[in-house]
Chains A and B, each alone.
Chain A
Amino acid sequence: MTFFRYIARRVLFTIPILLGITLVSFLIANAVPADPINVNLPQSQLNNPEIVAAFRAEWGLDKSPLDQYLTYLGNLVQGNLGRSIKTRQLVADDIARFLPATIELATNATVLGILLGVGLGVASAVWRNHWIDFLARTMAVIGVSVPVFVLALVFLSVFHAQLGIAAGPGRLDFTMDEPAMVTGLFTIDSLAAGRMDIFINAVAHLVLPSIVLALYVAGLISRVTRSAMLEVLGMDYMRTARAKGVREIIVIMRHGLSNAMIPILTVIGLSYGNLLAGAVLTESIFAWPGIGRYMFRASTSQDFPAIMGVSLLIALIYVVVNLVVDLLYYFVDPRLRAN
């Protein structure tokens, strides 16, 4: 029962957090010393006071900031995120259109990153100061420190343009039709439609951007895994397990890794949230129509409703991811269950 009360409490806590986010992003958006009129209307129309006035009225820019904020909150309570100035579509529709692409990429990259990162981290802890350790640590440093857009461009020009062994930018070949929309995840929708060709194409297009993002994620995870494992490996219970004659692989994975899991989970949660919040550069370079690109476009055109909507979404993503991570702690660590 405590478990459900715990969840309920966490969910309730998100409400003030989200409210705070709306206020902060509204204040920041309004503090920018530029008029959205200048970004969204061509010069010829700026000279026409009628068009300018109509634009202000249409987007509520003629009201006081307090009125604007209250109106926004009122709409928000009814589930209305407003209409984007730039795309003139409902922000909620825009998010629904762009988020699946990001989810698909971020999830793939994170899974790949976990496999790579945890593997490397465990290996480098077990073979500490061995060449394997140095290799793994070097890879981690490279993964974390090489700017992601450099990696993305190099990968695209080498593996796609020059060697021709990887699919290029976009979620599918440009000449290929998208599968009928069900979840917005092309890998799932193509299977649902029974279109194996689209599925293969979608997977092929996921390879390069996933690897680029996964290298970064793996770099983070392997470093944390290594230090957490090193701590655990020196524990008495490890010696006890070995003394009992448990096989070394079981000692490391079950007795070692599962006890080192808490900090690793934390990093995984953070980096997954990060990728979902928009891998702006990776999405731009791979022509990946995701939420990161949408957010970038919204912020450069001072598209307030879209900025607010995406900020809320990102806050929500972090809250959910953190909640999931906390729940996983609960399963990973028996001591938490006891309390």
Chain B
Amino acid sequence: MKKVRLLVLVLAIAVIATGITSAQDETVLVVGHAESTDSLDPARGYTQTKDIIDHVIYENLVTFPQADASEILPMLATDWAISEDGLSYTFNLASGPVFSDGSPITADDVVFSVNRLKYVQGSPSFLAADIAGVTADDEDTVTFTLSQPNPAFLANLANTAFGIVNADVVRENGGTDAEDAATTDTAETYLNSMSAGSGPYVLESWEPQVETVLVRNSNYTGDAPYFDRIIITNIPEAATQKVALESGEIDLALDLTSDQIVALEGNPEITIYRGPGNIVHFLLMNANPDVGGPMADPLVQKAVRLSLDYEGYVALWGGVQPGSVEFVGNAYAFTPEQGVQRNLDEARALLAEAGYADGFDVTLEYPIFTFQGVNMETNAQKIQADLAEVGINVTLSPAELQVALENYRTGAEGFGYWFWGPDVLDAVDMLAFAPGGKVAEERALWTTDMADPALNELVARARVATDPAEREEVFTGIQTMMQENSPFAPFLQPDVQTAFRADIEGYIWHPQWLLDLALLGRSM
């Protein structure tokens, strides 16, 4: 009897509760997210949660396209000029945009925002480390001087850390851009509770570990977003996000695991987004014969690249074949069509030329790990099968992540399977794999004196070149040469997956800010 009464009570409450929520008439988006930030201050936070939120409350001088990092687009800056030596960048500011309080965005705001980022010594301040100075030439022109050429500088400027804040408002609330800002700037509390930017939304409230509320910026000069109000609610458990998404309590679940996504397939109320992410899975073949054995031979390395069944990996996990170690979608990265094509006959011929006509035995080391739903064990077995077709007998040697990582980082792996996520959303990121780079030098033991001098020369130019035409030329050259001769075989760039209610439109995954909340809408 008691139970029945309880059930009736619960029912009654549920009905009333539903009635109350549906009575609101403003457009509201509810996002379920495992919150992971300690700050929303552009100069202090350096987390995914902060990127998602700050991307819609602040604007930068420059930005990326909606879906990738293939080029740099103007945002608050209309155009820019780079000096011959790559040390000086001059930006012209757009005249239209205003801050959320209606005041115009001036060169002083830019100087303040950049210096504050540099001097507060927050988590993302390292992004401004090579800025020697920034000056306002006039009301709407700003010049940056770098201490050394940095072709990734524009990509850095697109990071939410370089979001332009309203200098007057931040100053009034304890902010400073002086050199001692690390100890004297007290604006973080303000910026964690209110925003001082020019993006399509303003921060209404942030209750850490509970929820973040964004409301439409009435002074926003760009295209008005669809939702009046966005609530990002903290749901740390992925399983709970799934339940809340199924019940319609949240519109978008940002942290579902891939098996949870699979379980949602076929649910007509849920849409599943799949698209290539920015992680590249690759094989490492140690260039030092003492460590790599036969794998150190460039002919064998190329034969391995020609032996992999690229389409097969994409069929397993979705995604695309990367054209190089750089993810498809990053600036100057090869497209899947420019990737290595499987050619077993050529691979066998190369092996014969290298003296391995009858093949050889080798051990493949990899971590016991599933990353973003891709099980490395499954891929290792497929690599084993692919290489068996050209006579390379692979013995699989999985190890716990920390153990495998140690061997990988110390360059002790002869033949390894790993994945790479970009540190910088710029083509220079791939130089880690080029001679002189971290992965090449320390992990594959592939040094500059082993590499083709022509490649070394291209790499040297790539480290400083800022002219788009020249960058196109050098990065094309590097990727072409590394397909021919390098100790790496990139083979898969898997899909990322997100699930949301079927009436949500405009979802686009982005390698920098994950998703642009201002692009989302709801179909009628």
A positions within 8 Å CB-CB of B? 41-42, 44-45, 48, 50-51, 54, 86-89, 98, 153, 156-157, 159-161, 164-170, 173-176, 178, 197, 200-201, 203-204, 207, 284-287, 289, 293-294, 297
Query: Is A175 a contact of B30 with CB atoms below 8 Å?
Result: yes
Chain A residues contacting B182 (CB-CB under 8 Å) are 54
Query: Is B46 a contact of A42 with CB atoms below 8 Å?
Result: yes
Q: Which of A51, A169, A197 contacts B243 (CB 8 A)?
A: A169
Q: Which of A98, A169, A297 contacts B249 (CB 8 A)?
A: A169
CA distance in complex: A87, B36 (Å): 10
Query: Is A174 a contact of B231 with CB atoms below 8 Å?
Result: yes
Which of B11, B30, B249 has the most CB atoms of chain A within a 10 A radius of its CB?
A: B249
Total A-B pairs, Cβ < 8 A: 113
B positions within 8 Å CB-CB of A? 7, 10-11, 13-14, 16-17, 20-21, 24, 28, 30, 38-39, 46, 121, 123, 125-126, 182, 188, 207-211, 231, 233-237, 239-240, 243-244, 246-247, 249-250, 423
Query: Is B249 a contact of A168 with CB atoms below 8 Å?
Result: yes
By beta carbon, the residue of chain B nearest A50 is B121
By beta carbon, the residue of chain A nearest B229 is A175
Q: Which of B16, B38, B210 contacts A289 (CB 8 A)?
A: B210
Query: Is B243 a contact of A170 with CB atoms below 8 Å?
Result: no
Give me 22 A-to-B residue pairs in the complex whose CB atoms sit less than 8 angstroms apart, sorted by A's number.
A42-B123, A51-B126, A54-B121, A88-B39, A157-B243, A165-B10, A167-B13, A168-B244, A169-B244, A170-B233, A173-B17, A173-B20, A173-B21, A174-B250, A175-B21, A175-B231, A201-B17, A204-B13, A207-B10, A285-B237, A289-B234, A293-B236
Chain A residues contacting B30 (CB-CB under 8 Å) are 174-175
By beta carbon, the residue of chain B nearest A197 is B20
CA distance in complex: A44, B47 (Å): 13
Give 14 new A-B contacts, CB below 8 A, not counting A178-B207, A197-B20, A287-B235: A45-B126, A51-B125, A153-B243, A157-B243, A159-B10, A165-B10, A165-B14, A167-B17, A168-B249, A174-B30, A175-B231, A197-B16, A289-B209, A289-B210
Chain B residues contacting A54 (CB-CB under 8 Å) are 121, 182
Query: Is A176 a contact of B14 with CB atoms below 8 Å?
Result: no
Chain B residues contacting A44 (CB-CB under 8 Å) are 126, 423
Q: Which of A48, A165, A173 contacts B126 (CB 8 A)?
A: A48
Q: Which of A51, A168, A175 contacts B247 (CB 8 A)?
A: A168
Chain B residues contacting A168 (CB-CB under 8 Å) are 243-244, 247, 249
By beta carbon, the residue of chain A nearest B15 is A165
Query: Is A166 a contact of B235 with CB atoms below 8 Å?
Result: no
CA distance in complex: A164, B249 (Å): 11
Query: Is A203 a contact of B38 with CB atoms below 8 Å?
Result: no
Chain B residues contacting A87 (CB-CB under 8 Å) are 38, 208-209
Query: Is B38 a contact of A88 with CB atoms below 8 Å?
Result: yes
Q: Distance in Å from the Cβ of A121 to the closest Cβ of chain B?
A: 16
Query: Is A169 a contact of B240 with CB atoms below 8 Å?
Result: yes
